[in-house]
Amino acid sequence: MGVPLFDTSTPLAGLREELRAALNSVMESGRFILGPEVSAFESEFAAYCGVEHAIGVANGTEAITIALRAMGVGPGDEVVVPSFTFYASAEAIPPTGATPVFCDVDPHTYCVTADTVRAALTPRTKAVIAVHLFGNIAPVSEIEALGVPVLEDAAQSAGSLADEGLRPGALGTAATFSFFPSKNLGCFGDGGMITTRDERIAERVRTLRFHGSHDKVTYEMLGYNSRLDELQAALLRVQLPHLDTWADGRRRAGSHYEEAGLGELLTLPRPTDGAAPAWHLYVVSHPQVERLEQTLAGAGIGHKAYYRTPVHQQVPMRQWAPQGELPGTEHAARTHLAIPMSPVLTREQADEVVAAVCSALG
Ligand SMILES: Cc1ncc(COP(=O)(O)O)c(C=O)c1O
């Protein structure tokens, strides 16, 4: 039969009418930028995360640049970031004037740890970007205990739960989200969000996303034209009430794989302490991953190695590559593979994936 790597359309099937009505309503309203839909979605998303402020921006990459600047990061500063992540986590740092300093990850959780961050700290460290990779939750409070502010890159972790039921977005000094269409909460184009409890940071974010201005007449700082638009906000408002159901579906899909015995064939992703990840990508690892890739391709089973080349080895980042090795990063880069994951992945589909894995590695 084959199993797709992800399925973004089935979860939305029952919402088509509501989505069309939301689109029509914005079209009729004539308000397209920073209107009532964005304000309402910001309030609803802030309440969902359990924070005071949520500010919509154009995408998850600019969200990181803007959040870092609002946290006071600038020229001469260093920002610690994992090398095993999507490129944008690091790409967003140099536009602030600061320098990325790459740290390692735990190859079982794919997240940074307090130890890997500690090894990268210097007197110039101004912030740490803790990426909640694949939906797992990086240990934010342990990192903050090192005495550095944390920006959560929560692009892949909407719907996940941390210790004590806290949500990503409420764990660090500030957090950033992406609503890229394939994300756990995706829009119909690009979109992003910054959350924070800190009123001063929120105010700076609002100014920075609006050309560094309050009124587009006088300008206080060099800013950006970076807004979530009304159409996307209206579509996201329809979806947000369903995010927890979809997150449960992702957790259930992970359980299907476990119950089907996948963990006996290869290494499964390990939730960090206290985390209940809404797996954005379900990323397994095996030393003979090429053999696995070939067999899955032959069986029509979606798979992808997202980060075979760590970020610090990408051409524009080599100037900031660390002197020492990043063994966890290199291991994860060499052996990881994303296999099918979605809120609607069934036990039968998990069985089909496991049977194909078994024929490759069993
Ligand atoms: C971990 C991570 N950070 C940042 C981003 C950037 O988000 P965007 O594509 O919305 O710019 C993404 C997703 O694309 C991501 O997965």
**What is the structure's pLDDT at 177?**
99
288 C-alpha to ligand 1 centroid (Å): 28
**What is the structure's pLDDT at 128?**
99
- Please state, in angstroms and rounded to a whole number, the distance separating the CA atoms of residues 145 and 172: 11
Confidence band of 115 (pLDDT split at 50, 70, 90): very high
45 C-alpha to ligand 1 centroid (Å): 18
DSSP codes joined into one string, 119-136: TT--TTEEEEEEE-GGG-
199 C-alpha to ligand 1 centroid (Å): 25
Confidence band of 265 (pLDDT split at 50, 70, 90): very high
Across the chain, mean pLDDT equals 98
**What is the structure's pLDDT at 359?**
95
Confidence band of 1 (pLDDT split at 50, 70, 90): confident
63 C-alpha to ligand 1 centroid (Å): 9
**What is the structure's pLDDT at 362?**
81
Rounded to an integer, the average pLDDT of 44-51 is 98
Nearest CA to ligand 1 atom 12: 155
Ligand 1 atom closest to 131 (CA): 1
Rounded to an integer, the average pLDDT of 66-74 is 98
pLDDT digits (tens, 9 = 90+) for 13-29: 999 999 999 999 999 99
DSSP codes joined into one string, 202-258: HHHHHHHTBTTBSSSSSB-S---B---BHHHHHHHHHHGGGHHHHHHHHHHHHHHHH
**What is the structure's pLDDT at 323?**
93
Rounded to an integer, the average pLDDT of 335-361 is 97
Token readout for 357 is 């894995």
Rounded to an integer, the average pLDDT of 143-147 is 98
What sections of the chain are H helices per DSSP? 16-29, 36-49, 60-70, 88-91, 114-118, 140-144, 199-208, 230-239, 243-259, 289-298, 327-335, 347-361
Is residue 48 scored above 90 in pLDDT? yes
28 C-alpha to ligand 1 centroid (Å): 31
Nearest CA to ligand 1 atom 10: 60
**What is the structure's pLDDT at 348?**
98
pLDDT digits (tens, 9 = 90+) for 191-247: 999 999 999 999 999 999 999 999 999 999 999 999 999 999 999 999 999 999 999
209 C-alpha to ligand 1 centroid (Å): 17
Which residue ranges have their beta carbon within 6 Å of ligand 1? 59-61, 85-86, 88-89, 131, 153, 155-156, 178, 180, 190, 192
Ligand 1 atom closest to 192 (CA): 10
